[in-house]
Amino acid sequence: MRKSIAIEMLLFVLTVLLGISGVANALTIIETANYLGSDYNLIYEDDSIYGGLVWLDYTKGSDTRQNQVDWASGLNGALSVTLDPGYTSTIEWSTGWRLPSAGDNPQIEYNQNTSEMGHLYYVSQGNLGYFATATDTTYPQTGWGLQNTGPFSHLQDDFYWSGILLLSLS
């Protein structure tokens, strides 16, 4: 299997979550947000390395990094959130949307799970990178790529902008 790398830069938007109760799994759909007339899942990741996160299951078409940053921060007034009554939240849904962080060590390396996107991809979803590890450069690793999408419907095996640099789901 040969991985194709698309030209488009796509992203997922997330917000740091300070308090949702009633969620037990690593990735849980907690309800929807309406954006431009369509509903997209809000997915809570409770074991993120930076605390709980909410991911908006939406992929935006390619654009410059700065335009993507501006788009994410502009979601504040563009989303209408419907939260399942079984969940309680201290979130102010009209603030806090941003691109995922690149982690504590934003240099390019194999299987980096110290970023929010890397943690989602490698840890919470259990996907494998093209290379086995940074020290074991066996490639391609059997079963590599976006095999597990979890509850995401719009996740694509592609490049994504982060808050600092470009991340690749691979």
Tens digit of pLDDT for each residue in 105-129?
Answer: 656 666 778 788 888 888 899 999 8
Name the residue with higher pLDDT: 160 or 5.
160
Find the DSSP H helices in the chain. 65-73, 116-118
Going by their DSSP bridges, the two strands 9-10 and 159-161 should be labelled as: parallel
Domain range summary for the chain, segments of one domain joined by +: 9-168
Cα 123 to chain centroid distance, Å, stands at 12
Q: Bridge-partner residues for 166, per DSSP?
A: 161
Q: Which residues of 29-56 are buried (b: 16+ CB within 10 A; e: fewer)?
A: bbbbbebeeeebbbbbbbebbeebbbbb
* Mean pLDDT along residues 129-136: 79
Both tokens of residue 160?
Answer: 């994504």
